[in-house]
A and B are shown apart, each in its own frame.
Chain A
Amino acid sequence: MLGLEDFGVSLSVLIDGKEPMNMWFDWKTSMLEKISKVVGEDGARDLEILMQREAAIPPKVAVVGQAGVGKTTTINNLFNVSWKTSHVFAGTTCEQRENFQFAGGGELTVVDMPGLGEDLRRDPEYLKIYQDVLPGCDVILWIIQADLRTLAEDQRMWMSLTSGRMVGRQQRIVIGVNQVDKIGPGEWDTRLNFPSPEQENSIKRRCKDIGTKLSDVGIRPKHVAYYSAYRRYGLYDLLSSIVGAAGVAGWKFQISPADPFDMADPDIMEYAKSMRQRGRKCAHGE
């Protein structure tokens, strides 16, 4: 089946009104005009139906990673749902999926996977779920824990999953480094909901280390998004990475994951709100 990327489509998406948006139907109209000159009106109409069918299938995002990194918590806070999580004891044990609508249009299917590396005896069963589900997904959101130093298990997970089937999927991988609020030394700034300078340093070094070790197993992600699902920090960056990786045309939506300032001091929230209102007024030329 033809994919839209075969037509060299790359559209940027609207993110909270900040970026210019390429209109799906303007493009479609002009493209179809050109194509009908080559294959005739019937051919162009068939193509249009094909494209509509393709665009109607929401892109699928598989959320993968070791046990306890925060896959389910990330989904809960990105999309404002309440799937069951557990910090210390057993979490997601089977794949669970859900469709999420964005206000303003667009849809996303998210597949939450069980965590690997929990128990040697259960890993083969979970790995099979990964092998079955992953090839059918458009984007892989690979979550890694910031405040741990390990990466061998993630490397091994990738090595046992690739074996030919995932070749060519590189551009669809989003690396999300979660729990940056827990990385040491230093304490998270709870007033501003921001990392301390010492934490920033650790985060940078951890992300760089992750990048190096992933490239050792052949993965070169364009962007490593670091965030904290629990603190609602960096969620915009993460979501825009996911959307960018999906690369599906026809999207026009406004992203509104849980507001990071909701977790900050009430005075700061008021200040941020007034700044945003002022910003909007300026944008409208008032």
Chain B
Amino acid sequence: MKNPFDAQEGSRDLQEFRDRSASEMGYYGWTVAEHQDVSGEPLSKFDENTRVVVFMGKTGAGKTSTINSLFGLSWPTDNAVACTGSPMMAVVQTGHRRVLVVDMPGIAESVDADAKYAAYYRYYFPRANHIVWVLQADTRSYAADQQSMCSLVNCLRENASLTFAVNRIDQIGAGDWDVDTNSPSPWQAAAMAEKQSQVNDLFEWITDGKISTAIACVSASTRYGIEILRDLVIAPGGDG
């Protein structure tokens, strides 16, 4: 008979529950080691071997939502008005892998915001090992991303890599995503392939020869493709 007031049993149960729900949720083993806001020069606090992953993209594309899905965080998001006003950072780790996640404020919020945020981009890009550029799947408007990419691609460090996370993939076309199996409808599956080739066409001329890129279709809200994206974000086969 389980004693609900036994501290040891209680904490064991709680840990079991956490492990079970974490494995169900898909981010088993990740814990948030530290969570701090930017102040001064915090990057110098982290040792050279910490893998820095910067999340970039248009306001509303889903950078924060994707981070929340990937690592089980609950950073604030908003549907109507821009939310992340300054870079948010967290160190997440599993076992011996340690990643510094940096969430940037979005581009194209307004002319004033772009000017204000430019300093942040210029500070973090040279220090990033990996960029996750979040694009919105259900739109045709990518020129602002192209513009931003053009101006930042040259200040990346050597051996940096980039993943395009095409988010809200469940919303493309008529939005008839199969909610039960968490998979695209036949039309959406074909459109996904087209979308990847569209993204390649739009950005290849900018990134070619400068940075290795990959494209992943995801949905932060349904968690489709989140596992695959996480594997891309962590250095393949490396120590992170």
With a cutoff of 8 Å between Cβ atoms, the chain B residues found around residue A155 in the complex are 110-111
A90 to B194, CA, bound (A): 12
With a cutoff of 8 Å between Cβ atoms, the chain B residues found around residue A123 in the complex are 143
Q: Verify A68–B141 contact, CB threshold 8 A.
A: yes
Q: Verify A150–B109 contact, CB threshold 8 A.
A: yes
Interface presence of A273 (CB below 8 A): no
Q: Verify A68–B140 contact, CB threshold 8 A.
A: yes
Q: Verify A67–B80 contact, CB threshold 8 A.
A: no
Interface presence of A270 (CB below 8 A): no
Nearest chain A CB to B73 CB, angstrom units = 19
Given contacts A149-B59, A153-B108, contact A66 B81 (CB under 8 A): no
Q: Verify B143–A120 contact, CB threshold 8 A.
A: yes
Interface bits A198-228 vs B (CB < 8 Å: 1, else 0): 0001110110010001001100000000000
A-B contact count (CB 8 A): 104
Given contacts A120-B146, A152-B111, contact A88 B194 (CB under 8 A): yes
A115 to B141, CA, bound (A): 8
Interface bits A132-158 vs B (CB < 8 Å: 1, else 0): 000000000000010111111101100
Chain A's closest residue to B83 (CB) is A149
Q: Verify A149–B82 contact, CB threshold 8 A.
A: yes
With a cutoff of 8 Å between Cβ atoms, the chain B residues found around residue A119 in the complex are 142-143, 146, 202
With a cutoff of 8 Å between Cβ atoms, the chain A residues found around residue B136 in the complex are 148
Given contacts A155-B111, A217-B111, contact A149 B143 (CB under 8 A): no
Chain A's closest residue to B174 (CB) is A87
Nearest chain B CB to A226 CB, angstrom units = 12
With a cutoff of 8 Å between Cβ atoms, the chain B residues found around residue A202 in the complex are 79-80
Chain B's closest residue to A120 (CB) is B146
Nearest chain A CB to B141 CB, angstrom units = 4
Q: Which of A67, A149, A184, A216 contacts B141 (CB 8 A)?
A: A67
**Which residues of chain A (162-212) have a CB below 8 Å from chain B?**
182-185, 201-203, 205-206, 209
With a cutoff of 8 Å between Cβ atoms, the chain B residues found around residue A260 in the complex are none
Q: Verify A152–B114 contact, CB threshold 8 A.
A: yes
With a cutoff of 8 Å between Cβ atoms, the chain A residues found around residue B172 in the complex are 87-88
Interface presence of B150 (CB below 8 A): yes
Nearest chain B CB to A13 CB, angstrom units = 33
With a cutoff of 8 Å between Cβ atoms, the chain A residues found around residue B140 in the complex are 67-68, 86, 88-91, 115, 118
**Which residues of chain B (163-189) have a CB below 8 Å from chain A?**
171-173
Interface presence of B36 (CB below 8 A): no
Interface presence of A238 (CB below 8 A): no
Nearest chain A CB to B34 CB, angstrom units = 29
A156 to B58, CA, bound (A): 15
With a cutoff of 8 Å between Cβ atoms, the chain B residues found around residue A66 in the complex are 141
A88 to B217, CA, bound (A): 14
Interface bits A87-125 vs B (CB < 8 Å: 1, else 0): 111110000000000000000000000011111100100
Chain B's closest residue to A91 (CB) is B140
Q: Verify B139–A68 contact, CB threshold 8 A.
A: yes
> Which of B60, B109, B140 is packed against the most chain A CB atoms within 10 Å?
B140
Given contacts A88-B138, A149-B106, A155-B110, contact A209 B81 (CB under 8 A): yes
A116 to B146, CA, bound (A): 13
Interface bits B68-86 vs A (CB < 8 Å: 1, else 0): 0000000000111110000
With a cutoff of 8 Å between Cβ atoms, the chain B residues found around residue A152 in the complex are 107-111, 113-114, 144
Nearest chain B CB to A188 CB, angstrom units = 11
6 further A-B pairs in the complex, CB-CB below 8 A; given A118-B141, A120-B146, A150-B144: A87-B138, A117-B141, A149-B59, A155-B110, A206-B81, A209-B80
Interface residues of A (CB under 8 A from B): 66-68, 86-91, 115-120, 123, 145, 147-153, 155-156, 159, 182-185, 201-203, 205-206, 209, 213, 216-217
